[in-house]
Amino acid sequence: MEAELLGPVEELKDARVLEIGAGAAQCSRWLRAQGARPVALDLSHRQLQHALRIGREDIGLVQADAGALPFADASFDLACSAYGALPFVAEPVRVLREVRRVLRPGGRFVFSATHPVRWAFPDEPGPEGLTVSASYFDRTPYVEQDEEGRAVYVEHHRTLGDRVRDVVGAGLRLVDVVEPEWPRWNTQEWGGWSPLRGALLPGTAIFVCVRDPERG
């Protein structure tokens, strides 16, 4: 957020912002503190309950599928997502089209996802996480099941090229792809994230998109 990919902080005041796959609405809370008018949307009631527990602070909370947004056309100035919704749907273009529809012409959508290159490596923080163990090109989803064989977690892989095509195919203009580097001050390990891997591999890709005013 502080990278100002949504635009200068001072221009966030009163901006109508949609956060998709908001989880506990961390981004929306930050946006509200800057004077924006955020709506945090998530499919999961449980996640939105976490948001409520942390403190609602004038944030709209909406339970809905990002592939069928319950909002009128052009009702937001900005949209954002931190690792939300897009990696978990089989048809990300549907979500991107919906985001485009609810953005006003000229509106910006910034979303982050785990960097696609990570798909090829084991999710381990140590040296074992530096050796390719799967094909970067294999789009078979990652699925975790419960004892009854029901899918409880599904993640879909898109290559970098797939993501670019998804954005463009949804009618958005891709302005930038940001690959943040691991900050030197961060010595913490968390899941597969670590300074060792962070120094050598990108962890996150951030896509900056605009609803082109010239295309209506």
Per CB under 6 A, residues contacting ligand SAM are 20-23, 26, 42-44, 47, 65-67, 82-85, 88-89
Min dist CB 107 to ligand SAM, Å, is 19
Distance CA 96, CA 21 (A): 13
- Ranked by CB distance to ligand SAM, the top (closest) residue is 23
Min dist CB 110 to ligand SAM, Å, is 12
Nearest residue (CB) to ligand SAM, 21 versus 116:
21
Nearest residue (CB) to ligand SAM, 89 versus 173:
89
Q: CA torsion angle for 109, 112, 117, 120 (degrees, to 10)?
A: -120
Distance CA 170, CA 123 (A): 30
Distance CA 168, CA 58 (A): 34
* Secondary structure letter of residue 88 according to DSSP: G
Nearest residue (CB) to ligand SAM, 20 versus 210:
20
The candidate with the shortest Cα–Cα distance to 152, out of 143, 160, 139, is 143
Nearest residue (CB) to ligand SAM, 1 versus 173:
1
Min dist CB 21 to ligand SAM, Å, is 3
Min dist CB 205 to ligand SAM, Å, is 14
Q: Find residue 176's DSSP bridge partners.
A: 208
